[in-house]
Structure 1
Amino acid sequence: MILYFSNSFKSGLKVLFDNAPYLIESVNFVKPGKGQAFARVKLRNLLTKQLLEKTFRSTDSLMHADVVDVKYIYIYYDNNAWYFMNPENFDQLSLNTAIIENKYKWLIEQHEYLITFWNNIPIFIEINKFMNLKVVSDVSAKELNSIMSNKKCKLYKLQTGLIMQLPLFIQIGDIVKINTITEEYHSRINI
């Protein structure tokens, strides 16, 4: 097993901590005038998604987590699970709600996603920070339009089924760039 000392910690590193896989999200190295240097580290548990802040001395170390990231193509949903296919060997994989959580609104058929495995079990799916989605229809109910008449936005339905407020200049068929973290409109994509 690979051992990482705290002075080699960096964002994106996957390590074992308390017998669970963690992702290092940020590292802040501190070298005080007196005393030993240390690192303040934000760790995200890949199983529970819980964020943890820990301080490590320069002599502390963590083992590399046997975590593998594999690209899979999303193919369909059948009311029980989301199905993906490995483009290299065509193996299919189904993910349940515990892994997908609320990320289903960013899944586009035939689009590649990075799935993280720990001990050959899928534990996490990574969604890009920005997704380009097609506007498929507007939500045009009289009540909604009267509520939103004083705003510069309108409700639209995107290709994944997500309904969100977009600027009035957006047309059906446009491709829009959406921030998946804040779930906000970022820009229109010109093709």
Structure 2
Amino acid sequence: MPRINGNEIKPGNVLEHDGGLWSAVKVDHVKPGKGGAFAQVELRNLRNGSKLNERFRSADKVERVRLEQKDQQFLYESDGQLHFMDQQTFDQVALPSDILGDRRPFLQDGMVVQVEYYEDEPLNATLPQKVTCEIVETEPVVKGQTAANSFKPAVLDNGVRITIPPFVGQGEKVVVNTETMEYSERA
């Protein structure tokens, strides 16, 4: 496994630290007036979901882990587990429902997601960057309202609230970015 300096850690990197596998959630580079610079890293344990805040100096070396990524189809959810199937081998795996966090409502039946494996252990799942949803509730379209930066609230068919441009109406399908959870374009 490659070793990287503490100041090279980026969000999304998977590190082997204190005998566990951790994903870097948030990274802040701090340059205090006194002393050397360091990276303040918020880590999430990939096996049990616990969080940890850690400081890494540029001289610190950490093991960066490469995870194998496989596209797998979402089948169903039961007993707090999401079930996925490999489309080539038809093998099924289950991951905890909270693995997707607040992006869970965007998971749709039959959707192909990227499941990350360490050796043969499934650890994480990543949704496609863009998902199509239908608007079930919003304010009516107002003619002549063309201000560039005006947005109105809307509720999607999965219950998520987002803001949309004023020209998009109820019943229309829109593309939502699952990373930022914002409106992207009309479908």
Same fold, judged at TM 0.5 (above): yes
1:121 deviates by 2.3
Partner of 1:112: 112
1:61 deviates by 0.9
Q: Is the 8 A contact 1:42 1:51 kept in 2?
A: no
Over 3 Å counting, the alpha-carbon distance change for 1:101 and 1:48 in structure 2 is same
Q: Which of structures 1 and 2 has the bigger CA Rg?
A: 1
Note the residue ranges of structure 1 that are not aligned, 5 or more in a row.
Answer: 140-151
| Cα distance in structure 2, aligned partners of 1:56 and 1:166 | 38
SS of the residue corresponding to residue 55 of structure 1 reads strand
Q: Is the 8 A contact 2:27 2:41 kept in 1?
A: yes
| Cα distance in structure 1, aligned partners of 2:68 and 2:97 | 21
Instruction: Give the partner amino acid of 2:29.
Output: N
Q: Is the 8 A contact 2:6 2:39 kept in 1?
A: no
Instruction: Give the partner amino acid of 1:108.
Output: Q
| Cα distance in structure 2, aligned partners of 1:86 and 1:16 | 26
CA deviation profile, 1:44-96 (whole Å, cap 9, x unmatched)? 2133445543322332111123633322122x215344332223433222334
User: Are residue 189 (structure 1) and residue 153 (structure 2) matched?
Assistant: no
Over 3 Å counting, the alpha-carbon distance change for 1:123 and 1:72 in structure 2 is same
Task: Give runs of aligned pairs for residues 134-149 of structure 1, distance below 5 A.
Answer: 134-135=134-135
| TM-score normalised over the length of structure 1 | 0.64
Task: Give runs of aligned pairs for residues 68-83 of structure 1, distance below 5 A.
Answer: 68-74=68-74, 76-77=75-76, 79-80=78-79, 81-83=81-83
SS of the residue corresponding to residue 78 of structure 2 reads coil
Task: Give runs of aligned pairs for residues 111-190 of structure 1, distance below 5 A.
Answer: 111-128=111-128, 130-135=130-135, 158=157, 161-162=158-159, 164=161, 169-172=168-171, 174-178=172-176, 180=178, 186-190=183-187
1:97 deviates by 2.8
Q: How many residues align?
A: 169
Instruction: Give the partner amino acid of 2:27.
Output: S
CA deviation profile, 1:133-180 (whole Å, cap 9, x unmatched)? 134x569xxxxxxxxxxxx6565x52xx436477684232x2223354
Note the residue ranges of structure 2 that are not aligned, 5 or more in a row.
Answer: 139-151
| Cα distance in structure 2, aligned partners of 1:97 and 1:57 | 35
Task: Give runs of aligned pairs for residues 39-58 of structure 1, distance below 5 A.
Answer: 39-45=38-44, 46-58=46-58
The percent of aligned pairs where both chains have the same amino acid is 18
Partner of 2:22: 22
Partner of 1:148: none
Q: Is the 8 A contact 1:9 1:27 kept in 2?
A: no
1:189 deviates by 1.0
CA deviation profile, 1:115-138 (whole Å, cap 9, x unmatched)? 223352222222356532134x56
Partner of 2:144: none
